[in-house]
Chain A
Amino acid sequence: MERRDKIVLEHVSFVYGAGTPFEQKALDDVSLRISANCITGVIGHTGSGKSTMMNLLNGLAKPAEGKVYLDGYDINTVLSDVLEEWRTRPEYASLSARAAKKAIKAEIARRQRELCFRVGLVMQYPEYQLFEESVYQDIAYGPKNMGLSPQEIDSRVREAAAFTGVEADWLNRSPFDLSGGQKRRVAIAGVMAMKPEVLVLDEPAAGLDPHGRTQLFEKICAYQKQTASAVIIVSHSMEDMAQYCDEVAVLSGARLILQGSREEVFSHTDLLEQVGLDIPQITQLVRLLRARGVELPENIYTVDRAVELLRERFAETGRCPAGGAK
């Protein structure tokens, strides 16, 4: 399928505490293209600016410099766009200054919210955002804000709950009675229920058990396939990234150092190691095996696939595929 840009960052910089003695540059001249209809992984060591970048994607945080485009529209021009549009409207002149200001403000807020509905952001440690009486109501908060009909809300809540592995009998419990991992799923479901075109997940699997991780990632993949949306995942686990992502971006020290398909990115072993990241262990193992003469394709990212291929080799040759060596 043809590759299409969904989100484009152009020379984006972001500074925390600008103008104070505690100024810190969290993003430095980052240009990134995120494709539509695929899963993009963002990796980088702690403090490299991943969360900062994610917070820019729905327009809630504004870059100090540079532009963020969603489907070619610069999302940080909402304000000037609305002002421009209103100036040319005939009813604008008839309104009093105060009424006009109010209307413009409401319009800006509406568009800003629309952006949030289009780019669904699940922040790091989202379990702290739960507040409703029941899990059901909490998941329904987003869709409700979108102004959907009750039937639509109900179906979306159940669908999102199923996707994230929120079990039906939790729905009536208080979110405060759930475990951390369960809360995490509820929080993710709360954003998924808005059916955003772009789903941004900041370390969705941190702190989940191995089984829960796999399950969550598989559900996210399924969600992506079903909705054909763009999904962006931040994670520290190279294994997960290699397994589930189509494209990968690497941040280091506030700068973007690599981006491309996962094959491309993981072929830069040295560069990744330089910035304190690894390639997945299984990929490394397969490369070592290849170096010893085992005939295997170069880029293998899952243990299952490696085992499958080794079995095939074994069946073909009838002996241990370790190139002669026992």
Chain B
Amino acid sequence: MKNIAFGQYYPADSVIHRMDPRAKLIVAVLYIVCTFLCTNALCFAVLVLSAVVLTLLSKIPLRLLLRTLRPLIFILAFTSLINIFFTKGEHLLTPESWVVKIYLEGIWNALFMILRITILLAATGIFLSFTTTPIALTDALEQLFSPLKKIRVPVHEVAMMTSIALRFIPLLTEETEKIMNAQKARGADFQSGGLIKRAKALLPVFIPLLSSAMKRADELANAMDCRCYHGGEGRTRLKVLHFRASDVAAMVLVVAFGVGIFFLNRLGIGYTM
């Protein structure tokens, strides 16, 4: 359990969790394209509605989804301000005499941009990071890119390395914590002193960590050799991914959604970018 806890994966039993990771990847990409298709207020309203439905379907707490936005707040605020102050339009909101001129169009643009980025992030969260384990994701990527093997792109090898690396991250963090505590128990001080002193104080953590990581890598390589690992050729999988009817339905649905957005754009209801 602990092993998949890293990253943002949120374990739950939802329609989206159960989807094939390849389908999720494709749907995510298409859905993100949809967010870029939107150009008028009605479209955005529909988009927001769809995002709400997806959030409910995925059973991810809203709090978690919103947390992914936190690092972007500054950029969002900054670009909206630029949009508000520098968009020229027809409906002036501020008095003519003011040096700073704010147009209604600017506010709309800022709003659209915020919605677009928020939904883009929410969609990646809902389809990928929160509902798909990193390992499943690499698996899906490997299969989706497997046609590239024909032109000698080492797809399998890259995917294997990625999943091993992903698998090792939580192990290493756990181990770092353990070793740090062991050294603290012997009076190590990681906090006081200048930069150089602190860097030196980390040596007692870094050396055992490196040594055990190398040992682990060695053992893993041996274990793989013992099981006759010889690269991707002719390799079968433990977990065979299956496209089910629901996965196909999801893809059809998102394409239909895109087409719908396209026509709604044509109608041009509400403010249009």
Which A residues contact B (CB, under 8 angstroms)?
17, 20-22, 55, 58, 60-61, 105-106, 109, 113, 116-117, 120-121, 123, 126, 128-132, 141-142, 145-146, 176, 190-191, 194
Contact = CB atoms under 8 A, between A and B. Distances in A.
Contact of B187 (A128, A130, A131, A194): A194
Nearest to A130: B208
Interface in B197-216: 203-205, 207-208, 211-212
A117 B187 contact: yes
Interface in B69-125: none
B188 A145 contact: yes
Nearest to A55: B181
Contacts of B162: none
Given A120-B185, A141-B204, 20 more contacts: A20-B5, A21-B11, A60-B185, A113-B187, A116-B186, A123-B182, A123-B185, A128-B182, A128-B208, A129-B179, A129-B204, A131-B207, A132-B204, A141-B186, A141-B187, A142-B186, A142-B187, A145-B186, A145-B189, A194-B186
B189 A113 contact: yes
Interface size class of B (residues with CB under 8 A): 20 to 34
Interface in B27-60: none
A116 B187 contact: yes
Nearest to A57: B185
B104 to A, nearest CB: 43
Contacts of A20: 5
Contacts of B5: 17, 20-22
A109 B208 contact: no
A58 B188 contact: no
Interface in B1-19: 1-2, 5, 10-12
B183 A176 contact: no
Contact of A129 (B12, B182, B189): B182
For A117, A145, A191, the residue with the greatest tally of chain B CB atoms inside 10 Å of its CB is: A145
A17 B2 CA distance: 9
B178 interface: yes
Nearest to B179: A129
B183 A129 contact: yes
A176 B179 contact: no
Interface string B242-262: 000000000000000000000
A131 B211 CA distance: 9
Contacts of B175: 128
B178 A123 contact: yes
B184 interface: yes
Interface string B157-182: 00000000000000000010011011
B188 A121 contact: no
A142 B204 CA distance: 12
A126 B182 CA distance: 8
A194 B188 CA distance: 13
A129 to B, nearest CB: 4
Contact of A131 (B2, B10, B178, B203): B203
Contacts of A141: 186-187, 204
Contacts of B191: 105, 109
Going nearest first, the 5 A-B pairs with the smallest beta carbon separation are A145-B187, A129-B182, A131-B207, A142-B186, A121-B185
B192 A106 contact: yes
Contacts of B2: 22
25 contacts: A17-B5, A21-B10, A21-B12, A60-B181, A60-B184, A105-B192, A109-B189, A113-B187, A113-B189, A116-B185, A116-B186, A123-B181, A128-B175, A128-B178, A128-B179, A128-B208, A128-B212, A129-B204, A131-B204, A131-B208, A145-B187, A145-B189, A146-B187, A190-B186, A194-B186
